[in-house]
Structure 1
Amino acid sequence: MTTPTVDVHAHVLLPQIEALVAGLPGHAEAKALDARRNGPDALAVSGPMVRDRIPALTDPAVRLARMDTQGVDVQLVSPSPSHYHYWADADTAEKVYRLADEATAAHCAAAPDRLRGLGLVPLQHPELVVPALDHALEQGLAGVEISSHAPGRELSDPAYEPLWARAEETGAIVFLHPFGCTLDERLDRWYLSNTVGQPTENAVALSHLIFSGVLDRHPGLKIVAAHGGGYLPTHIGRSDHAWRARTDASAGCAELPSSYLRRLYFDSLVHDPRVLRALVEAAGADRVLLGSDFPFDMGSDDPVGALRAAGLPEADFHAVRGANAAALLALSPA
């Protein structure tokens, strides 16, 4: 028996969610903000790109065939982050997360030995996050996907303490995947909204979790950061220096910021073998998981090949290829 190859960063598109929110108060404004953040050139490319990938995003048979081509045995499938809809009121938000959970579970049920799923929680309504997490787990999902912040709230907000406590108690995975960068129109050309925005948002969100003491209070949390955790793991030395040099920086967490990297998980999607090696060095080979961002253009069509290009020791290669995720998801050997 061999350890399965596990891709923890793969998405499903759920058109029924967009049908649910279409025309509701706040939806048009949210779309307009997204358009301003990305800029017209990016939107002109992204529209056809997504349309070309709809079969892989919606049809389990197409997904499985692509997985076979990539040499991936298991995917952890999360809703497209475009489905967060953190602008929605409480009633709509509950409908969104229930529909997302149930539709993702149904998609994964087409091949339960190869597809595991994640649900959504409405971060804009902290009173709903624990019921939403429980609903996802009731559908047989492995946890939930969240963005880097909600309007007016960072992940360090005390209102989210019940979410962290419940996720720790249940062993649920929390997949941190940003959607939208608050640098706004500064990144509206050359697709900077993604290439700079996503790793920035990852770094900010993880820093809030570290410096606020969330990881001290909830050491058993299973947080998986997309995009290799963004800029933070390879620039954590600046955080360590601040923690040593300034009382305001060290007030919230008990240990050096870099020590918390080994309490988090990171996907391998960094697009550079040198950065992947640095991520493994910073976080530990047992804390990095294979990720492809399937099937979007900012992902990797050959995640195993990209991992192999990093030149890791063989034991570390296989840990990242699948052993770490198999343990996290309690998967049986292939």
Structure 2
Amino acid sequence: MTVIDVHSHYVPRGWPNLACATGGGSDWPWLRIESERDATIMMGSAEFRRIRRTSWDAEARLADMDADGVDVQVVSPTPVFFSYSRPGAQAAKAARIFNDLALDICAPAPERFVPFCQVPLQDPDAACTELDRCLAAGHRGVEIGNHVGDHDLDHEGIVTFLQHCAQVGAPVFVHPWDMPSSPRLNRWMAQWLTGMPAETHLSVLALILGGVFDRVPDTLRLCFAHGGGSFPFWVGRMDNAWHGRPDLIATSEHPPSHYLDRFSVDSVVFTETALRLLVDTFGPERVLLGSDYPYPLGERPAGKVVREAGFLSEAERARVLGGNAAEFLRQATPTSSAPDKPT
């Protein structure tokens, strides 16, 4: 059995000055190097996150993977690099820089690292172009944020990009990011503890009630990070609302529970009870091992809850630990054709 972790992130050990490389702007991310092992992601003059060499060092990552019993790791961008608030041309240049650096990080062990790219999602044509370039260069899929400003995943431009992903067979990993800020949410990392689950929930709902799943081919491979957020717990409430207030909510062809086989979720939910909810809700074929490595809110050892879950059969455990991810990651087909427009 090959164990595959679909949710990990990278940070390069430095990158060009993005204001110079992309044509201007302020408060771009940069890396303050503190030692051979430690650094801090900076946003302008503000500290964003302290990191260790596991973010960029293949040898260190492989050692942790071996310790955790992980054979293959999907390596995705850290969402702070997305640059969705910038002009599309600038975000495209930034994406190209980080995507090329991701290939360098993964190059020492191509049989164990699966690079996912980022794209300028605010510009669908540029996003499709960068995805095609990356697939041809060796990336295997794409990570996107769950929204672009006030545009959720049912926005026409984002749907155009998702249709292109379906066309070329590129798997899409959706990660929550850019959570709302307020005095109530700025304590105790509440943006991460409550905002992230809510962001993911809202974006899954947008795909459903926004009619995206009714329009986009079912060949689209989507996986949502962090167990799908709060969505799995509230499927019954959403179905009840769909039937009870059809004047406001029945904007999709079917109630929300009908679409549970259109996407997958990762397993990084930390308790057997929560994992059972995912399996009961989506089925064992729709839950993929994820860890959020190398960040401190991730699961270590990766896959611990899945391996110890008493309710899983051995066949189900094997699916969650690797079989489902292998299907999710099956090879995309690069293409230079123009993306289809939403219908």
Class of the TM-score when normalised by the shorter of the 2 chains: 0.7 to 0.9
Alignment: residue pair count:
313
Deviates more, 1:213-222 or 1:67-76: 213-222
* Other structure's SS at 2:176 match: coil
Verify the 8 A CA contact 1:8 1:325 in the aligned structure 2. Answer: yes
Among 151, 154, 165, the residue aligned to 1:153: 151
Quote how far apart the aligned CAs of 1:309 are: 3.1
Listed as ranges, the gaps of 5+ residues in structure 2 are 31-45, 332-343
What percent identity do the matched residue pairs reach? 36
1:319 corresponding residue in structure 2: 319
Which residue pairs with 1:117 in the alignment?
115
The structure-2 alpha-carbon separation of the partners of 1:183 and 1:204, relative to structure 1 and needing over 3 Å to count, comes to farther
Q: What's the counterpart of residue 180 of structure 2?
A: 182
Q: Distance in 1 between matches of 2:6 and 2:247?
A: 36
Q: How does 1:249-328 map to 2 (within 5 A)?
A: 249-311=248-310, 312-328=312-328
Partner SS state of residue 137, structure 1 = helix
| Structure 1 residue 92: Cα displacement | 1.5
| Coordinate RMSD, CA, aligned | 2.2
Name the aligned partner's letter for residue 284 of structure 2.
A
Q: Contact 1:144 / 1:174 at 8 angstroms: preserved in 2?
A: yes
Task: Rate the CA distance shift 1:26–1:178 in 2: closer, same or farther, 3 A.
Answer: farther
Aligned to 1:224: 223
**Alignment-derived partner of residue 330 in structure 1:** 330
SS in 2 for 1:196: helix
CA positional deviation for 1:26? 5.0
Q: Is the 8 A contact 2:19 2:28 kept in 1?
A: no
Q: Hey, what does 2:82 align to over in structure 1?
A: 84
Structure 2 counterpart SS, 1:28 = coil
The offset of 1:104, in angstroms, is: 1.3
Aligned-partner SS, 1:187: coil
Which piece of structure 1 moves more, 205-214 or 67-76? 205-214
Which amino acid is the alignment partner of residue 263 of structure 1?
A: R
TM-score by length of 2: 0.85
- Quickly say closer, same or farther: Cα 1:19–1:273, change in 2 above 3 A: farther
**Are the aligned partners of 2:29 and 2:81 in contact in 1 as well (CA < 8 Å)?**
no
1:305 alignment partner AA: K
Tell me which residue corresponds to 2:10. Answer: 12
Q: Following TM superposition, by how much is the alpha carbon of 1:93 offset from its aligned partner in structure 2, in angstroms?
A: 0.9
Of 147-156 and 189-198, deviating more is: 147-156
**Runs ≥4 residues deviating over 6 A:** none
Aligned equivalent of 2:92, options 76, 84, 94: 94
For the 8 Å contact 1:30–1:87, the answer to whether it is kept is no
- Which 10-residue stretch deviates more, 153-162 or 250-259? 250-259
Cross-structure match for 1:132: 130
Closer, same or farther: CA 253–27 of 1 in aligned 2, 3 Å: farther
Change over 3 Å in CA distance of 1:164–1:230 after alignment to 2: same
Cα shift at 1:191: 0.8
Cα pair distance change 1:151/1:22, threshold 3 Å? farther
Deviation at 1:288, TM superposition (A): 0.5
Distance in 2 separating the partners of 1:241 and 1:18 = 51
Structure 1 gap segments, 5+ residues each: 32-42
Whether the 8 Å CA contact 2:180–2:191 is kept in 1: the answer is no
**Residue 25 (structure 1) shift:** 5.6
For the residues of structure 2 that align with 1:83 and 1:286, how far apart are their CA atoms? 31
AA aligned opposite 1:270:
V
Partner AA of 1:14 in structure 2: P
Residue identity opposite 1:225 in structure 2: F
Instruction: Deviation per CA, 1:124-167: give whole Å up to 9, x if none.
Output: 22332211221221222111111111113111111222211111
Rate the CA distance shift 1:250–1:18 in 2: closer, same or farther, 3 A. Answer: farther
What's the CA shift for 1:314? 1.7
**TM-score, structure 1 as length reference:** 0.87
Q: Secondary structure at the match of 1:121?
A: coil
Moved more, 14-23 or 97-106: 14-23
- Structure 2 match to 1:170: 168
Q: Quote the Cα distance in structure 1 between the aligned partners of 2:61 and 2:247.
A: 48
SS at match of 1:270: coil
**How far apart, in 1, do the equivalents of 2:279 and 2:253 lie?**
23
**Offset of residue 296 of structure 1:** 0.4
Indicate conservation of the 8 Å contact 2:123/2:157, yes or no. no
Equivalent position SS for 1:154:
coil
1:240-251 equivalences under 5 Å are: 240-251=239-250
Deviation of the 1:18 alpha carbon:
7.0
